[in-house]
Amino acid sequence: MPPLFDEIVHRALSNDVRREILLSLAEKEKYLSELSSEIKKKPQTIDFHINMLVEIGLVIGEWREGKKYYRLKDKKIIEFIKHRKPIPEEFRPKPPHEIVLDMWEDMKKRLDKIDKRLDLLEKRK
């Protein structure tokens, strides 16, 4: 079974509407009603699917002039869609357990530094 993030991305890309959104955004950034008109789906449908793409980090949305414009985070995802290439490494963040392990290592280093400072203070007394 692939890691959870890979599974999420593959499921996201298995939907025709989401693939159409990504392919449309490969051309240029667009706002919701532009995507809706181009893909010929209701704005609510596009909003649902684009929010999923934003949530997993494939699309970025930013407000300008009263409209939320969407763009691809990285156009490499289009290569995956068009040519069925493997998902680029940057779309595979660390799994949660690795993030926790990294945080724990960082915490241990910080606690060691505090411990050393306390030892120095104790020696000065």
Q: What is the pLDDT of residues 10-64, one digit of tens each?
A: 667 777 888 899 999 998 999 999 999 999 999 999 999 999 899 888 899 999 9
Neighbours of 39 (CB within 10 A): 17
Q: Is the pLDDT of residue 90 over 60?
A: no
* H helix count then E strand count, the chain: 6, 3
Say what the pTM is: 0.59
Res 2 pLDDT > 60: no
Residue 1 reports pLDDT greater than 50: no
**Residue 49: Cβ-neighbour burial (10 angstroms; 0-12, 13-18, 19+):** buried
Alpha-carbon torsion (51, 9, 92, 74), positive or negative: negative
pLDDT, one tens digit per residue, over 70-84 is 999 988 778 777 776
Task: Determine the topology of domain 4-92 in CATH.
Answer: Arc Repressor Mutant, subunit A (1.10.10)
